[in-house]
Amino acid sequence: MGGDRSGRLLIGANQFFSSVQSHLPCNTDIYRKGQALMKGELRVEGVTIRVEGEILNVENVTVADGGKETSVASGTCDPQVWFIARVGVV
């Protein structure tokens, strides 16, 4: 997936997105009950990713070049992002 960082990807409730490459070239919103499957390291460069749902299979998140990552739980923005490892889940 490629882009010039001007678009927006919306992953809604009960939707599943599978990425061939863990690089998001556009702003991304993952809503509650939405899921995004990435491949190991997620690179967030110059875009904003907002997570209310789940990001699966991420081992490392790299935020660079003015990128922003926001995790939302219970309707409030969390200053820290907690990742839960699920062994054996693909």
Contact partners, residue 41, CB within 8 Å, separation at least 6: 22, 58, 59, 60, 61, 62
Full residue range of the structural domain in which residue 64 is found: 8-76
Residue 59 CA from chain centroid, whole number: 12
Task: Give tens-digit pLDDT for 26-45.
Answer: 888 999 899 988 887 787 88
57 assigned to some structural domain: yes
89 assigned to some structural domain: no
- pTM of the full structure: 0.72
82 assigned to some structural domain: no
- State the Cα–Cα distance between residues 81 and 53, nearest whole angstrom: 13
3 assigned to some structural domain: no
Q: Domain count of the chain?
A: 1
81 assigned to some structural domain: no
Quick one: average pLDDT of 34-59? 84
15 assigned to some structural domain: yes
45 assigned to some structural domain: yes
* Tally of CA atoms within 13 A in the half-sphere of 3 that contains its CB: 17
- Does position 25 have pLDDT exceeding 90, yes or no? no
* Among 57, 60, 73, CA closest to 16: 57
- Does position 89 have pLDDT exceeding 60, yes or no? no
